[in-house]
Amino acid sequence: MPPAVRKCKLTPGSFKWYYLFCSGHAGRVELGNVPLPDRREPAVYTGAGPGTRILTSSTMTTSALRNRSAEGDASRGDFHEDGTAQVVSHVRALIERGALKPGDRLPAERDLATQIGVSRPTIRAGLRTLAAMGVVQSRHGSGTYIPDGPPAFNTDALSFLAALHGFTREEMYEARRILEVGAAGLAAERATPEQVATLAEEVASLFASMQAPQVFLVHDINFHRGVAAASGNPIVASLVEMVSALYYERRRETAIRASERDLRDAAEMHRRIYQAIRAKDADTARRAMHDHLIQASRHQAQEPASDDASRRATAASTSVSKRRARARRRLPSN
């Protein structure tokens, strides 16, 4: 008995998935990206290129359909992964041709599923992949959007690499010098009055927070991000943002070890960088940024291990162990 092929309108040159149903079996057959003739009979293409055959309801048997489905699954591998890639490619195409711009809302899941020809769970998997890449942002109750504002790279991959390979402090500062020395020079040439004012505020906050190392660190990071943004190069700004996020993640655990003298030196170096940028002196800005990063690395290398922090960690661990022991004693015995 020939399979019953679901009727569908085939457009010349189309490429979609269609579901074919037959007695006791449902399979998926890929339509090749080949010209479709003007024919009224429902048809399914077996592939593209030389040797392409048209299978119709009168020529395809149940066993042929089952075999084609098995061949397709073997050649494609996991369909969910293919579908996720389709979602990513579709959104990328919309962005490249200007249909989606920063701040725009993506079509609803059901509309994307219809456009791409995949299921809604596959759409969600694709959107999660795009979110991990920093391409889209989900807003609860509102939808999924292309992020507005300057581009930003997701830092998770770099954090995993740091954990896997054990990036050293010297490597971190070396990377920062490569990126930020040039960014300071560009900022001196391109910074807007508003960006210069933002840097001035961060420098003032640095001097005001020397008694609070954790707060000082936040303004330190903000200053460097501000310099990168003032460079006028979104790629440089994004790379500095990514490295700064990793640096903050590492440094916040040890910032308390910084001495007041070191913080004062750092604040003064930030002021020198700011003054050079305000004066539009690119050479001095680059030199000041280089000297600051060399000095900061040297100061951190000389920081002693925090005995107080170690004692607090030991005390906390002991307290947790005691609470667990008391909880076990209160458990009824079998």
Specify whether the CB–CB gap between 92 and 81 falls below 8 A.
no
Specify whether the CB–CB gap between 119 and 113 falls below 8 A.
yes
Q: What is the pLDDT of residue 323?
A: 53
The two most distant CA atoms of the chain are separated, in Å, by: 88
116 three-state secondary structure: helix
Q: What is the pLDDT of residue 8?
A: 42
CA dist 151 and 205 (Å) reads: 26
CA dist 43 and 261 (Å) reads: 79
Mean pLDDT of 136-148: 87
Alpha-carbon distance values, 254 to 55, 220, 292, 309 (Å): 68, 14, 19, 9
Q: Can you name the residues that pair with 45 across neighbouring β-strands?
A: 54
Region of 77 (left: φ > 0; alpha: ψ -120 to 50; beta: rest) is left
- Provide DSSP, 246-293: HHHHHHTTTGGG--HHHHHHHHHHHHHHHHHHHTT-HHHHHHHHHHHH
Q: CA nearest 34: which of 21, 43, 25?
A: 43
Q: CA nearest 15: which of 2, 28, 34, 1?
A: 34
Q: Which two tokens stand for residue 59?
A: 């020529």
In the predicted model, is pLDDT for residue 153 greater than 80? no
Q: Which two tokens stand for residue 14?
A: 């189309």
CA dist 260 and 264 (Å) reads: 6
- Mean pLDDT is lowest, of 113-117, 312-316, 325-329, for 312-316
- pLDDT band at residue 40 under the 50/70/90 scheme: very low
Alpha-carbon distance values, 17 to 29, 35, 47 (Å): 7, 16, 12
With 0.85 as the threshold, say if the pTM is over it: no
Specify whether the CB–CB gap between 185 and 230 falls below 8 A.
no
Residue corresponding to tokens 């997701």 = 154
Specify whether the CB–CB gap between 187 and 270 falls below 8 A.
no
In the predicted model, is pLDDT for residue 105 greater than 60? yes
In the predicted model, is pLDDT for residue 161 greater than 80? no
pLDDT tens digits for 66-91? 444 444 443 433 444 578 889 999 99
99 three-state secondary structure: coil
Domains of the chain (ranges; CATH) run 17-76 (no CATH), 79-145 (1.10.10.10), 156-303 (1.20.120.530)
pLDDT tens digits for 265-308? 999 999 999 999 999 999 999 999 999 999 999 999 988 765 55
Q: CA nearest 258: which of 290, 319, 318, 303?
A: 303
168 three-state secondary structure: coil
Contacts of 30 (CB under 8 A, 6+ apart): 17, 45, 47, 72, 76
Mean pLDDT of 212-220: 94
Q: How does the average pLDDT of the chain come out, rounded?
A: 74
Rg of the chain in Å (alpha carbons): 30
Q: CA nearest 104: which of 140, 145, 50, 76?
A: 145
- Provide DSSP, 22-41: ETTEEEEEEPPSSPPPS-SS
Q: What is the pLDDT of residue 277?
A: 98
Give counts: helices (H), strands (E), the chain.
12, 6
Higher-confidence residue of 5 and 153: namely 153
Mean pLDDT of 242-271: 91
Q: What is the pLDDT of residue 131?
A: 84
- Mean pLDDT is lowest, of 18-22, 196-200, 268-272, for 18-22
